[in-house]
Amino acid sequence: MKHTQAVFFDLDGTLVDTAPDLGYALNLQLARHGKPTLTDDVIRPYASHGSRGLLALGFGISPDDAQFIDMRDEYLELYNQVFTRQPRLFNGMEQVLIGLANQQVPWGIVTNKPRRFTQPLVMSMGLSKRAACVISGDDAPQPKPSPATLLMACAQTGVEPEHCIYVGDAERDIQAGKAAGMHTLVALFGYLDVNDTPDTWGADGMIHQPGDLLALLLAR
């Protein structure tokens, strides 16, 4: 990963820990429907899978079910009320962002999260002015695993894909990064569940904590 000129992060489960708020919204919905709420430890592994994964966990429904769209819309309405309650950078990530700035390596966010949530969340954390780009899932015709949003990030930062690193905690992140021609890293500190097999995703490496990324860049 020598000659890295830009680093892009997935948002949920990689750059920012949003699981508490995603889970809070799910528990509000479960309570509304008279179902028992779930603990953070149970919800966390599903947090990167968005409303689809959370509804499957909480209600056992999939997009094929007739009630899915109504339940998804209800969940998103509840999440819209709470999504800026307590998002936080993962431990050590602030030091990584400072380190990237010190090395004059721009960083950005490329997420499948819809812009109506991404932009206010990033602004609430004071990250919007620090990031070289913020690309949401609905900014392109296809979200990840399509490389479209990652290529948009390259265009906005003026860096060719082969000089970029993409860090994510889901297989679709690695698929998108590889398809875009970037180097890829799996964030093992993210929202992986017991069924995930990151060693089979074909990433260029895996990091156990945010600081590992800075160590890789410093060693280049």
Question: Is there a catalytic annotation at residue 10?
Answer: yes
Q: How many CB atoms lie within 10 A of CB 58?
A: 23
- Choose the catalytic residue: 12, 21, 169, 173: 12
Other C-beta atoms closer than 10 Å to the C-beta of 188 total 14
Provide the H-helix boundaries in 50-170: 50-59, 68-82, 93-102, 115-124, 148-157
Residue 41 structure tokens: 């430890």
Rounded Cα–Cα distance for residues 35 and 45 (Å)? 20
**Number of CB atoms found within 10 A of residue 72's CB:** 17
Judge whether 151 and 177 are in contact, CB under 8 Å.
Answer: no
41 flagged as catalytic: no
Q: Of the listed 10, 173, 196, 212, which one is catalytic?
A: 10
Question: Hey, which residues does 12 pair with through a beta bridge?
Answer: 16
* Catalytic center residues: 10, 12
